[in-house]
Structure 1
C-alpha cells in the first residue's frame, strides 16, 4: 500500500507542476495583454487547485500511516536533527499545505473579482506564490540521486 500511495503522490506532482505553470503563464499573458478572463483560465486555476488538494490528501495517507518519514518518525527523539526526516516530516508537509491554501485562496479571490485584468493579476500573484512554494519543496532527484524524478 505504501508503494502505491508513493507512486500516486510522485506521479501526480507532475499534474500540479504542469497545471501550475499553465495557470501562471495564462495569468501573466492575460494581465500583460489585458485579455478577458475566459473559461480556460478558470479551468486551469481549478485544475491547479484541485490537483494540489489531491496531493495533500495522498500525502496525508503517507504521513499519518505509511511513510517511514511521517508522524511516527517525528515522534522519535532526534528526528529534527536528521535532515531527511525533518524535511519529509515537517518542512515538506507544512509548506505544501500552505501552498495548497494559497492556491485555494487565490482561486476564491479570482472568482470574487469582476474585472478581468484584476482577475489575472490576482491569479498571477496567488498561483505564482503557490507554484514557487511547490517547486521549492518537491524532493527533486536532481539534487538527490537516491530520489528519482519518476517512481516505478
Structure 2
C-alpha cells in the first residue's frame, strides 16, 4: 500500500470521528443552552474532541494536498485547473472551507473558555461548532452525490 493510499484511507475514516464528535458537541451544547444547564467537563471534552479531530483532518489533508494527491497542489499547477470541477474542488474549495471550519471550531473552543456564564458557553459552543460542522458536511465529497467515491475506504 502506497503512502498516498494510507493517508487517503486515514483521511476518509477520520472524517467519521469529526462528524460523530461534532454532532455530540452540538447536541450537548443545544441541550445545555436551552435547558440552562451547567457546562460540564464532558461538554468541554466533546468540543475538544471535535476540534482536535478537525485539526487531525487538516494535517492529514495537508499531507495529501502538498505531496501525495494528484488532486492537490499538483493539479492546481496545471493550466486550466480552475475550469476542471474536480481539480478546483480538491485543489481550492475543499481545502479552503475545511481550514475555515477547523478555525471556527478552534475559535469556538477559545470563546467558550473565555466565557464565565454556563448558558452563554453552551450558546457559543452551539453556534461555532454548528457552523463548523455545517461547513464540513457541505464540503465532504460524499459518495451519495458521486457513487464512484466510497463512503468507507479500505
Count of residues in Structure 1 that have an aligned counterpart in Structure 2: 152
Matches within 5 A, 1:1-152: 1-152=3-154
TM-score by length of 1: 0.99
Whole-Å separation in 2 of the counterparts to 1:72 and 1:144: 23
Q: Tell me how far 1:62 sits from its aligned partner.
A: 0.1
Whole-Å separation in 1 of the counterparts to 2:95 and 2:89: 8
Q: Which runs of 4+ in 1 moved over 3 A?
A: none
Give the RMSD, CA atoms, in angstroms.
Answer: 0.3
Whole-Å separation in 1 of the counterparts to 2:149 and 2:83: 20
Q: Secondary structure at the match of 2:63?
A: helix
- Structure 1 residues without counterparts, runs of 5 or longer: none
Q: Secondary structure at the match of 2:147?
A: coil
